[in-house]
Amino acid sequence: MADTFDLIVLGSGPGGYVAAIRAAQLGLRTAIVERENLGGICLNWGCIPTKALLRSAEIYHYMQHATDYGLVAEKISADIDAVVKRSRGVAKQLNQGVTHLMKKNKITVFMGDGKLTGKGKLSVTAADGKVSELAAANIIVATGARARDLPFAKADGKRIWTYRHAMVPAEMPSKLLVIGSGAIGIEFASFYNDMGAEVTVVEMLDRVVPVEDADVSTFLEKALKKQGMTIMTGAGVDKLDVTASGVKAAIKGKDGKVTTSEFSHVIVAIGIVPNTENIGLEALGVKTERGHIVTDPTCKTNVDGIYAIGDVTAPPWLAHKASHEGVIAVEAIAGKHPHAMDVRNIPGCTYCHPQIASVGLTEARAKEAGYAVKVGNFPFIGNGKAIALGESEGFIKTVFDAKTGELLGAHMIGAEVTELIQGYTIGKTLETTEAELMETVFPHPTLSEMMHESVLAAYGRTLHM
């Protein structure tokens, strides 16, 4: 006999476990299935432990520049093993937190590989081979994604790494090649550069962090080069040969010439592959595009009773999008008529040095969409708090509809911008215009004052520059 529930959630990442909690709050008898660690990749091998690594690198960076703050710090060194140990400890603590939340909300947890076996049916195979048969009127697929390999050089965990290998290195790279300059690639490039490695970044497109506003990409490339990185855009890696001491990489530059360089290690950060294989989707006829499950605005698939959220669905592939989708899907299942997801209001954050954050349309995308725009830009050097912090590099850029004053997008680079972006995200969600933002009082002295100044700048009213 199958264990029967109102809802089964397949996958316990930031989308899955949040969906399970919301379902429990709404009185649904809920089960969650996880094959590895509660909390999924984000909590155990992604968002959280990488931020712990980056925090260690940030502090190490500041210690090396102690004299800039009138301080003395001598014989500074980094212990990569201790840094990794701290990161894993942070992940373990949060994994235990999710375990507690499952118990608190009376959610039944099944550890093992889950597979859809029919309408409203799912089997779970545990590590010991024991099979549990589950049934529910509704199932949410939240199986996430994994790193994409290079077709000609699969990650081996020794010399060629994915993000997962890069979080628990057996040794500190001396000369590191990072392939791909999206958020994951740039964050690891920043971490290892701050920790003392010689870093080269290769990006196939014509600029780093290509999904960001062009002005942000330009500023970041200059900042990274100033920090000592080698940045190669419009370039690609044709071949990787692993040797006893490292990796030989054949890199084709934007001029078409191929050069061979040697590196101690390589990180491959060229995208993700959705975990849609071997979970029973094909037999049920669940529609996918390029491997990702197709859903409607309430996360429902083309098959009744099956929903999908997070990285297994369409982009953007962000933890906070997955969590929000989890709530939307559950509320739809419970008949609560939730709002539809609007991807234009989902912020993106990259925790490199300097940080990047954005929401909405870039200036170029806004113009491509037919908007006449007003654009404001305010630099960190014009902000008293930034100068006091010793963080005067960066800017905040805002894009408005010239006709209506609607905030179309905001783009930031500099210290702590990942904490600032939510102000604009709330503004976009509330459909704010420049008038409300201009009339909002921002506290002094704070970095947030630059948000106000950027809005003022779009309308020729900037005060401090």
From the list 65, 100, 339, 444, the catalytic residue is 444
Token pair recorded at residue 328: 């939307």
Say whether 339 is catalytic. Answer: no
How many other C-beta atoms lie within 10 A of the C-beta of residue 100?
11
Contact call for residues 265 and 179 (beta carbons, < 8 A): no
Q: Give CA–CA dist 353/189, Å, rounded.
A: 10
Is residue 372 classed as helix, strand or coil in its secondary structure? Answer: coil
Which residue is listed with tokens 């859903």?
Answer: 295
Closest by alpha carbon to 310, among 300, 320, 298?
320
Contact call for residues 78 and 63 (beta carbons, < 8 A): no
Which residue is listed with tokens 């050089």?
Answer: 153
**Strand ranges inside 244-325, DSSP E:** 247-252, 258-263, 265-268, 272-274, 288-289, 292-293, 306-308
Query: Which own/partner contact pairs does 76-83 have at CB distance under 8 Å and 24+ positions apart?
Result: 78/195, 78/196, 80/169, 80/171, 80/172, 80/195, 83/53, 83/56, 83/57, 83/195
In sign, the C-alpha dihedral spanning 125, 129, 132, 133 is positive
Contact call for residues 302 and 287 (beta carbons, < 8 A): yes
Closest by alpha carbon to 90, among 124, 135, 130, 56?
56
How many other C-beta atoms lie within 10 A of the C-beta of residue 320?
18
| First-to-final CA distance of the chain | 71
Contact call for residues 286 and 302 (beta carbons, < 8 A): yes
Active site residues: 444
